[in-house]
Amino acid sequence: MFRRFWLDVILGTVFIFGLMGLFSSLTAFKVFDIMDPIGDAFSDMEFTDVYWSQLLDDPVADQDVVLVNIGQEPRSSIAMMIDSISQYNPAVVGVDTFFHFPKDDTLGDLMLMEALGRVENLVMVTKVLYNIETDEFDSLVTSWPMFTWNSDSAHANLVTDAAVQEDLKMCRLFTPVLTLEDGTEQQAFAVKLASYMAPEKVDKFLETAKVEEVVNYRGNVLDYGATKFGTKFAALDVPDVFLGNYVPEMIEGKVIIFCYLGNYLGDRESLEDKYFTPLNETYIGRAFPDMYGGVVHANIVSMILNEDYVFYLSEIQKWMLTIFILFLNIMIFSWIYKKLPKWYDGATKLIQLVEMLGIIYVMIYALDLYNLKLELSILLFAIAVSGDGLEVYYGVVKNALSREGRRELFKVSRL
């Protein structure tokens, strides 16, 4: 009897995982398209988003990173802006935009080339391209060589959900280092910028960095309510630079990022190079992205300089935890099924509800208290199907495997 009980617990656990796999397959093949409106509303949400958008304590503004908006300015104007800023000795100037080819405005190109050549510490972005056929990052997109000869290069790739949903660019992760097919490495743009201010912190970070790291968001530039913390990074608009509306101390020894922040500072309509982030005030069914790519890079630089990292479980750890908790659930539910059958539905539903609420609470406050991101959606799914799934196992699967059970299973009583 005792041995049969544990065999049922093991087989019941395996059956639940089989159900989860079946549901995942049905979802992948869009069997439940009728549920798409609901699914779309929640597809870009994680429970830990509640922490960043609602519970995060007001962070201190970062004074080590300054963003400069290039708007829609021509290359000649960008050249003059770079000259204006670089004269005050920033620690490093990062340019988060591409100048792919020479233009008809030859004078503007020459002005930009010379301005970039005068910057002492310059980092320009690249884009690492992924080849689906070879499953490798095999090529590098850069600006035209006349603009990059004086610069270090670093990739600006950000990890997003755009591959899953084309109109969604939700950014929670970044890749500290990307290795190309030929073995050469490209550090992330933010990592390279931080190395000019604190090389020892970057070295320490890279020693333990995972393939993908969570961005610990501090805040945004002025965004007129798009995020909860919209004034955590100083930003200069085009007129500010040309009119000199800043002091040298704002620039000296700082990380300066030239990037697109809209047609003007505070522009919420432009969607170019713009992402959803966990700081978005509307974290379910988001309507508008809230952060430009340059500000995402600024948040990563700030995270590294402040050594304020987010830790998370590996896939193996998440699966081990899921198997352990599900096994305990099946053990308890099996005991209730055999010893207290009349209480089964009510008791299991109550236990599932308490477990799921408790896990969500732990997920949010583990991030708040310990900077530990517990993305346990697999565990929540397993708990959600465990009660009814086990009842199917005992009521259908187990009976179908025995002669007596099959006789009872297909026996129809008279009314």
Give 117's DSSP letter: H
Domain identity same for 233 and 356: no
Range of the domain at 222: 51-309
pLDDT in tens, 285-339: 556 888 999 999 999 999 999 999 999 988 899 999 999 999 999 999 999 999 9
pLDDT of residue 337: 93
Domain identity same for 293 and 202: yes
**Sites in the chain below the pLDDT cut of 50:** 28-42, 163-165
* Whole-number Cα distances in Å, 276 to 171, 189, 348, 372: 6, 19, 38, 21
Residues 6+ apart with CB under 8 A from 153: 123, 124, 125, 126, 140, 142, 186
* Whole-number Cα distances in Å, 368 to 48, 281, 311, 374: 9, 17, 12, 11
- b/e for 385-402, b at 16 or more Cβ within 10 A? bbbebbbebbeebbbeee
Predicted TM-score of the model (pTM):
0.86
Domain identity same for 139 and 37: no
Domain identity same for 128 and 249: yes
Return left, alpha or beta for 253; rule: phi > 0 is left, psi -120 to 50 is alpha, else beta. left
Domain identity same for 274 and 328: no
Within 13 Å, how many C-alpha atoms sit on residue 56's CB side?
22
Q: Are 256 and 242 in contact (CB under 8 A)?
A: no
Domain identity same for 318 and 286: no
Burial class, 414, CB count within 10 angstroms (exposed 0-12 / middle 13-18 / buried 19+):
exposed
Domain identity same for 34 and 182: no
Domain identity same for 398 and 288: no
pLDDT of residue 404: 61
pLDDT of residue 222: 84
Rounded to whole angstroms, the Cα distance separating 226 from 20 reads 37
Give 227's DSSP letter: B
The last residue of a domain, from among 255, 288, 309: 309
Q: Specify if 305 maps to a domain.
A: yes
Domain identity same for 33 and 105: no
Domain identity same for 149 and 9: no
Query: Is residue 377 helix, strand or coil?
Result: helix
pLDDT in tens, 59-106: 889 999 999 999 999 999 999 999 999 999 999 999 999 999 999 999
pLDDT of residue 27: 54
Q: Are 252 and 90 in contact (CB under 8 A)?
A: yes
pLDDT of residue 22: 85
